[in-house]
Amino acid sequence: MHVHLADRYRAGASWLHRLDPRAKILMVVVFILGVSLAPPGAWAPLIGYLAVVLLAAASSGLGWTFAVKRSIVAAPFVLAALSLPFTVPGEPVFHLPVVGWTASLPGTIRFASVLLRTWIAVQATILLAATTPFPDLLWALSRLRVPGPLVAIVGFMYRYLFLAGDEALRMLRARSARSVPSAYGPPPSVAWQGRVAGNMVGSLFLRSIERSERVYDAMVARGYDGGIRSLIHFHFRRPDSAALVGSVAVVSILIAWSLRA
């Protein structure tokens, strides 16, 4: 089976696709800031934020569940808050008899709030990437006065991440071709598989370093001076201003609601 790492952008003609990328980046930043300001236990305002991002996904033509299905990538980041139910003092909720830990109600509320806030914020960033080509995002970041070296690093990391992924897939296919399972012998041990995986990771790292040096030398030979040239140019229009002002107004109402909750 052939696996291909493709761009996450989804072409479309919706109002969200047509917005200036600078407006979309500012809208997402304001939205995530509002979500992060919601205090623990402010469930109704958080549901309001979730409704906003779901409506944006539906109106973009991608569907209600487009970002919801892909927001599972936020799960590893929530593990950092997994200790909150057991470290925040308060009224006990449940007890883990094996390890002797007791979860408190305030800690559980904080953990659930972190989980919900992270899930909502990730959906907003997924919609941004799905409705905006990546070169447009880089152009918008540079126009928003983000430092040039940071924009270049983000651009190169995104572009060559797919090259590294394709290289890893080729290495996996080569390993499979050279490691045909035998019907007469025992399967490879876990230690052997771990050693092979470690060697593959090291080889992939060395190949990536060598390839990056060759790419950089080729770019310098063609006149690269640290800046990224772009033929993309957008102009802020009335719909862009209206969308930005509207998003700020909605987030302001939700922030006020969450602070009063």
Question: Among candidates 254, 17, 2, which has minimal Cα distance to 132?
Answer: 17
Q: What is the pLDDT of residue 2?
A: 38
Domain ranges, ordered by start, for the chain: 15-132+234-260, 133-181+188-230
Q: How high is the pLDDT of residue 184?
A: 58
How does pLDDT run across 228-247, given as a tens digit for each residue? 677 777 888 999 999 999 99
Give the residue-averaged pLDDT of 138-155.
87
How would you label 151-167 residue by residue, b for 16+ Cβ within 10 Å and e otherwise? bbeebeebeeeeebeeb
pLDDT over 70 (residue 186): no
Judged against a pLDDT cut of 60, whether residue 182 lies above it is answered with no
Question: Which residue pairs from 63-67 have beta carbons closer than 8 angstroms and sit at least 24 positions apart in sequence?
Answer: 66/10, 66/126, 66/127, 66/130, 67/122, 67/123, 67/124, 67/126, 67/127, 67/130
The pLDDT tens digits of the residues spanning 114-132 come to 999 999 999 999 999 999 9
pLDDT for the residue numbered 212:
80
Rounded to the nearest integer, the mean pLDDT of the chain is: 83
**Residues 32-69: tens digit of each pLDDT:** 999 999 999 899 999 999 999 999 999 998 888 888 88
Specify the pTM. Answer: 0.77
d(CA 168, CA 200) in angstroms, rounded, equals 8
Across 19-23, 61-65, 168-172, the highest mean pLDDT is recorded for: 19-23
